[in-house]
Amino acid sequence: MTTTASQEAFLQAFHAEYPAVTAEAFGRGRAPDGRSSYEILCDRVAGGRRVLDLGCGDGLLLELLAREDGRQLAGVDLSAHSLALARRRSALRGARLEEGRAQELPFADDSFDACVSHLALMLMGEIEQVAAEVARVLSPRGVLVCAVGGGAVGGEAYDRFVRLLRHTVEEMPAAQRIPALGDRRTRSREGFDEVLGPAGFAPVDWETVPIDLSGPVEQVWACVSGLYDLGPLDGAAVERLREAFFAGVEDITTPQGLVPCAFRIHVVTARLR
């Protein structure tokens, strides 16, 4: 099995079990201005009439995009299970929702004014082919806007969870760990330019935004435990991690019972030349 095929097989299996995990984990998070990471992407494509969501999952971002009347919306995702949830959203009855790969988009040339992707592009292999396909289906001067993970904010619960998780994963046999996902170039501005430039995009606009996920410890655990790395862990290992996390955030829990938790996203905007 090729690297990309093994990545995609893992993602399909994970989302078969957790079809709405990304929206459940990050949908309630808020930037300092009060917007969710999903709403930030919506605002970046305001006025776009034909919008594609790349890696649309359970359809939360598309539902928000549907608030602007008259839009033609489409979404593509590897997971049939996630798409089944998207199809249940009444706002998406007119949307075209396709099971498929970003490397082989099932849409005609010049089909969209804008393409959005929330924490999905960074998971994709064969990233040059993804860029070429996005450029193909966008109209001239079309725009790509995506959110990619930017890591933990030091000292808060997300950071502490990542360190605990890393220790747990290091103790696992290598054969049981998840495959390396995505292309490292999607973690930096320079990398994005390297990938998108040859496909016809101008240099990217890059903005780093902290997203606040603070709340009661059970709520914060529900957010952080949605990471893909937990996929191979058995129930006992997850419970040990949960207990270690609860103990590990006691000292930062406020008297009101809130656990400070934040992570960063990078909002990447690129327009076709």
- Per-residue pLDDT for 234 more than 70? yes
How many CA atoms does the CB half-sphere of 158 hold within 13 Å?
24
Tokens coding 127: 């990233």
User: Would you state the pLDDT for residue 3?
Assistant: 84
The mean per-residue pLDDT over the stretch 72-82 comes to 97
pLDDT confidence bin for 172, thresholds 50/70/90? confident
User: Would you state the pLDDT for residue 76?
Assistant: 98
User: Would you state the pLDDT for residue 254?
Assistant: 97
How many CA atoms does the CB half-sphere of 46 hold within 13 Å?
4
User: Would you state the pLDDT for residue 1?
Assistant: 61
The mean per-residue pLDDT over the stretch 83-105 comes to 97
pLDDT tens digits, one per residue of 186-225:
999 999 999 999 999 999 999 999 999 999 999 999 999 9
The mean per-residue pLDDT over the stretch 54-62 comes to 98
State how far the Cα of 182 lies from the Cα of 10, in Å rounded to an integer. Answer: 12
User: Would you state the pLDDT for residue 57?
Assistant: 97
What share of the chain in percent tops pLDDT 90?
A: 91
Whether the model pTM is above 0.85: yes
For residue 196, the surrounding DSSP H or E stretch is helix 189-196
The mean per-residue pLDDT over the stretch 75-101 comes to 97
The mean per-residue pLDDT over the stretch 28-51 comes to 97
Q: Are 250 and 120 in contact (CB under 8 A)?
A: no
DSSP, collapsed to helix, strand or coil, labels residue 191 as: helix
Q: Return mean pLDDT, the chain.
A: 95
pLDDT tens digits, one per residue of 88-97:
999 999 999 9
